[in-house]
Structures are given as structure tokens and as C-alpha cells.
Amino acid sequence: MNYSKITLAALMALLLVACSDENKPLGIMGGAEEETGVYALMGQMGDVFPKLSMVDSSSRGNSMLAPKGSSITVYELDSLTFDTTGRSVVDSVIDDEGHFAFDSLDLNSPYVLIEEIVPSLDTCKYVSGLLLPQITLGVECLAYTIPSKELRAIVDLRKKEKISVNSLTTAKVPLLREYIAEGKTFAEANQMAERKILEDFGIYEDLGSFEKMFDENSELSYVNKLIQYTEKDARKGLDWFDAAYHYASPEEFMGNVQLERYLLNLKKMIDYRIGFLAKIDGLGRCTEARENDVGEIGILNSENSVSVVCRSGRWTMGFKTVEYTKGSLVDNRDGKSYKTVTYNWGGVTQTWMAEDLIYSDSAHALCQTRSNASLCRIYGRYLWWNAMDVSMEDLNIYWVSLRGDTVYLNLECRKAFAGLLDSTNEFDYDACYAGRTSWDYDYANAELQSTLNMHQGICPDGWRIPTTNDWKTLLQNLGSLYGVDYVKAVPVLYDETATGFGLKSSSGLAMDDNGRIYVTGRMGDFYNHFAVTDLHLSKVAFFGGFSSGSGFGFRMPTEYQYSEGAYDIPPFNEVNVRCIKN
């Protein structure tokens, strides 16, 4: 070295470096001086979870962000060992959105550990394995206290970006240190740690840096929620509530953007939990080569399981896809288009509507007794004889008295039970019952009874109301393909991708006048009622769930008899319509 070229300024700089650490705002003792400098640090402290409700645009869903005044400590790290150097600085959160800022950190290492002790938080209890303060059971939330915990992150301050400190970054800290101790660079260790955490939860794609998770709609927000679960938590609700959410249609809400968004987020969260459980249950990774592979996920406290399928790189609730052909039909009466699905069962071909019919006119009222459109879809859109397009005179409704006499229900009583009388008309319903306890019914029109296998009813031209044999043919052939009894084939009709049929469950979500989302008494409802032409079963019913002792089922005329009471008259049932092509 040419010492003659050392300037006075250089000598002064050397002297300053040799000065006591007491003259420094913040510094390190030992370690490598990788990049001495003054850094700014800003970001957000707390967990960001999926915004499951869009009711209040200012709300951060059910996120748990550090409140204003919470204490944050920044520890300087040795740039070789990543141990703390004994130097730290403390500040606090500046608002209730968890934001913090350090304007000037004079450091000899660009690496720091950010830490906060998050206080306990009172919120609402778990619903279906999801912590959802916006969803209430009935009216009020069930009190639940989330214990305090540490949130931490190790960051490189040379990255001039805002930092998110959350549960994901906290889980990454020990892995970072482990990989760095093995000789990996910080960048390598960071990538390895994030990949390990994701893969432990059955996630194999790169979802971005954990420290950049600020958006409730980002995929990382779902993972941040997922890592809060134990295996037991993840299995809760799979048998009933989650299945109902998964197979429910956003169309249930008829343009309610908030509820539609809520449901879609619930569906996505269920898929992440399925992926986590698929990892635990040894199903392996869902890859392109395994597309349409199926497996089973165990249900909590049950011998039953939920069927899952590999689709588009992820395990999801569902079944193996069978062969079918999609199509469409246009109802010339109102111009509405419907999806259709065609199956070839050997020598038998069936083409079904893949949506419920919603045609109406002055003679075929839609949702006659329901004011809520979603309830209409669940309970039935038509009175049975409107769906059948028969008049009251085409049916005999009667009972047999104790003396053996046949007593017929008169026309005015029929209109009253069908809800066709003026609501202001005071009608004596008791006179219609006259002590009878059960009803019977048959077709009064002999010609109609002889052509039920080709009965058009309210269906479009070229289509007809199915018989129970039509339904049984569908289920028996599906059961054969899936290797199960026909009744156990019912769930596959709810998986539109697998069979194209598109049965829908009820999500049970509703919104009150104050914009609050709550769960109705119809939560987890798989009941679907469809008009059929067969006597003594005005409708077929799909019902049940995956839970132990319930299962799915399909009620057929020879296997289930209505036990009508005085107030239960099958031809007055509310039903939906799925037409089958002639």
C-alpha cells in the first residue's frame, strides 16, 4: 500500500470508526461489517386473513392487526451468524391498522429481527373450522379469546420496501437461521424456508414473498389462515358444512355481490384445507400426470371419508370425471338458455337439463309461496301440479272414511291448499279436513295416466318431466361407473365437473338489514326435490351429507312412502324441475 496517498479525510474516517460505540445511535459489536449504513424501516404488523366479507369496504375482514401503541422491537443481527448483537431499538405501532415506521436506523449490518408480542384478542368462536367474526350463529357471536403470541420477521434492510410481519414470517425465522447455519446465503435460505412451509401444508406453487402479504385477496392470506389450524381444526366441518359450501352455487344469491364473494372465499379456504389434509393422509402431490386421480380424506370422529380428486394441480373435494357431453337448449317461450348434459349408458342415451327450469307465465307461477329467491330455489319453485301442467280437475284427492266411503276434496279446498284464494278471504280450512288424518290421490284423467312416460308438463317442447325410472337409470349407471350402490352415487351429481349434472346445495348464508352475514337454519342443506310423474311420489328427494349416520340418499316410490298427515298433501308440494329430453 502507498501510505503517502492516505489523505487527511481518510485518516479522520479511520479515527471515527475506532471511536466508542457510545457515540453511535445503534451499532453492532463483532460480526462482519457487510454494509454499514442508515436505513429506514416501515411496514405493517399483524395477521392478514382473507376478506371473507365485502360488506364494509373499510373492514379488514377477520384480520388481526396490531393495535395502536403496541410495542415493536428491532434487533440488529450479526451478518454472518444471524445472532442478535445485543443492540436494539424500540418504537410503537402508529395506528390501529398495524402500521409502524423507523425513520433512521444506523447499522453495521443490513439484517434485523423485527418482533412484537401480540396481546390476546376477544373475537367469535370457530364456525366450520374457520374463524369468522363476521359470521354469527343466530344473532350473537360466541365469545372466544385468542391467546397472545409473538410475531417476528428477519429482513434485509437493503430492500427499500414495506415489510409485513405476520404468522408466516414468524414460522420462517427458525428455518432461516437453520439454513444459514448450514452455509446457505440469506437469499437461498429465504427461498428454501418459504418452500418448506408451503409444502408442509400441501402447497407446491410459489405464492410470493411472505413479507409482502398486505392484500386480503392474495393467496398468501389464505395460507396465513391455514397455518393457524391444527389437523383436528382442518378436519372439522368437512362432512357437512364444508361440503355444503363447496357444492353451493354463487347464483344462490341472485346478484348479492357481498354474499357471492363470501361464498367464493369460503370455497377457496376449504380447498387449501383439503390440500393440507391430503398431505397428512398421504395422497401425495397432485400433478398434471395425476389429473383426475381420486383419494379419500378422513372425517373427524367418523369412519366415513370425503372423496377428493386431483384437478388442475390441486386436491379438491369431488369425484373422478366420467364421460359426458355438454350442450345447451333455448326455451323458445322466453328465450332463456339452459345447460344440458348427455350420457351414453351402453345402448341407452339420456340428455338432461343441467340446470333447474325457471320458466313461468300466468298459469305457472314461479315461487308462488316464497318471497325470498334463494329459499325458493331450496324449497321448490313450483307447486307440483303447475310443474306437471295439469289442472285441479285432472287429479282426485281423497280419503277413505272409517265406514269405507271415499270422500273427495272439493275444488274450493284444493284452491285454498294451493294458496290460490284471495288472502283477504276468510276461509274455513277446518271444514276441508273434517277429521281426516291422511290422503290419497290419483289421476282423474285416464288418458293422462296412460302417457306419463312422455308427459311434457311445464318443460320446453321436445322435453318432458322425468319418471323415477329415469332418475334410477341415471343413478344406477353412475353407481356402476363408480363401483357403488346407486343410492351412494347421489353425491357425484353435486360435482358439476365430474358429471356435468350440477345439483346444488344450500350454503345457508344470508344477510340481515344491517349488512351482517349470518348462518341460517338451512346451513349444510343437500335437500333437492324434483317433480316426477309417478303416482304416490309427486317428487323425488335428494338428501343428506357425508356425516356418520346420515349419508346421501335418494327416495324412490318403492323404497319410501309418504306418511301424510292432515296438513301434508303431496300434490301441493313445492318442487323444482329438471327436464329430460324425449
DSSP structure string for 475-494: HHHHHHHHTS-GGGGGGGGG
The single-letter code of the amino acid at 322 is V
> How far is the C-alpha of 72 from the C-alpha of 46, rounded, in Å?
11
> φ, ψ for residue 481 (rounded to 5)?
-70, -35
Cell 382473507 belongs to residue: 50
pLDDT value of position 349: 95
Report the candidate in 181, 37, 199, 15 with the shortest Cα–Cα distance to residue 109: 37
Q: Any residues with CB less than 8 A from the CB of 6 and at least 6 apart, and which? A: none
SS3 171: helix
> How far is the C-alpha of 574 from the C-alpha of 356, rounded, in Å?
13
Q: Which residues pair with 296 in a beta bridge?
A: 307
Cell numbers of 7, please?
489523505
pLDDT value of position 22: 35
SS3 465: coil
Cell numbers of 220, please?
398468501
pLDDT value of position 57: 34
Instruction: Please return the burial class of 1, using the count of CB atoms within 10 Å of its CB with bins 0-12, 13-18 and 19+.
Output: exposed
Cell numbers of 261, please?
364473494
CB atoms within 10 A of CB 42: 14
Distances in Å between the alpha carbon of 69 and those of 41, 117, 474?
A: 17, 12, 64
> How far is the C-alpha of 540 from the C-alpha of 530, rounded, in Å?
5
Report the candidate in 245, 199, 248 with the shortest Cα–Cα distance to residue 226: 199
Distances in Å between the alpha carbon of 408 and those of 13, 385, 414, 439?
A: 111, 17, 10, 10
Contact by Cβ (8 Å): 71, 117: yes
Distances in Å between the alpha carbon of 573 and those of 400, 453, 556?
A: 21, 21, 16
The single-letter code of the amino acid at 526 is F
SS3 365: coil
Handedness of CA 242, 248, 251, 252 (dihedral sign): negative
> How far is the C-alpha of 257 from the C-alpha of 55, rounded, in Å?
9
First-to-last alpha carbon distance for the chain, in angstroms, is 98
> How far is the C-alpha of 297 from the C-alpha of 130, rounded, in Å?
18
H-type alpha helices, 202-256: 219-226, 231-235, 241-247
Q: Whole-prediction pTM value?
A: 0.80
Report the candidate in 453, 497, 84 with the shortest Cα–Cα distance to residue 314: 497
With residue 345 as reference, give the H or E element that holds it: strand 337-345
Contact by Cβ (8 Å): 91, 45: no
Handedness of CA 477, 480, 482, 485 (dihedral sign): positive
Contact by Cβ (8 Å): 571, 390: no
In Å, how far from its chain's centre is CA 495? 14
Rg of the chain over Cα atoms, rounded to whole angstroms, equals: 33
> φ, ψ for residue 173 (rounded to 5)?
-55, -55
With residue 222 as reference, give the H or E element that holds it: helix 219-226
For 14-140, list the strands marked E by DSSP. Answer: 37-47, 64-65, 71-77, 84-92, 99-107, 111-118, 121-124, 126-127, 130-131, 136-137
Contact by Cβ (8 Å): 436, 407: yes
Report the candidate in 543, 533, 547, 535 with the shortest Cα–Cα distance to residue 577: 533
> How far is the C-alpha of 469 from the C-alpha of 486, rounded, in Å?
12
> How far is the C-alpha of 65 from the C-alpha of 319, rounded, in Å?
39
Report the candidate in 376, 415, 375 with the shortest Cα–Cα distance to residue 395: 415
How does pLDDT run along the chain (582 residues), one tens digit per residue? 343 333 333 333 333 333 333 333 343 333 444 567 899 999 999 998 887 644 333 334 567 888 899 999 999 999 999 999 999 999 999 998 999 999 989 999 999 999 997 656 555 543 333 334 344 434 344 454 555 668 999 999 998 789 999 999 999 999 999 999 999 999 999 999 999 999 999 999 999 999 999 888 889 999 999 998 899 989 987 877 788 888 888 887 877 888 888 889 989 999 999 999 999 999 999 999 999 999 999 888 877 788 899 999 999 999 999 999 999 999 999 999 999 999 998 888 999 999 999 998 887 878 766 656 666 766 778 888 889 998 888 888 888 877 888 888 888 888 887 777 776 567 887 788 766 667 778 888 877 878 888 999 999 999 999 998 899 899 899 989 988 877 778 888 989 999 999 888 878 788 877 777 877 765 556 777 888 988 767 777 665 554 333 444 554 434 443 344 444 577 877 888 999 999
With residue 541 as reference, give the H or E element that holds it: strand 539-544
pLDDT value of position 517: 80
> How far is the C-alpha of 492 from the C-alpha of 490, rounded, in Å?
6
With residue 295 as reference, give the H or E element that holds it: strand 294-298
SS3 511: strand
SS3 564: coil
pLDDT value of position 215: 86
Cα angle 463, 467, 468 (rounded to 5 degrees) comes to: 145
Report the candidate in 333, 292, 43, 285 with the shortest Cα–Cα distance to residue 169: 43
> How far is the C-alpha of 532 from the C-alpha of 188, rounded, in Å?
64
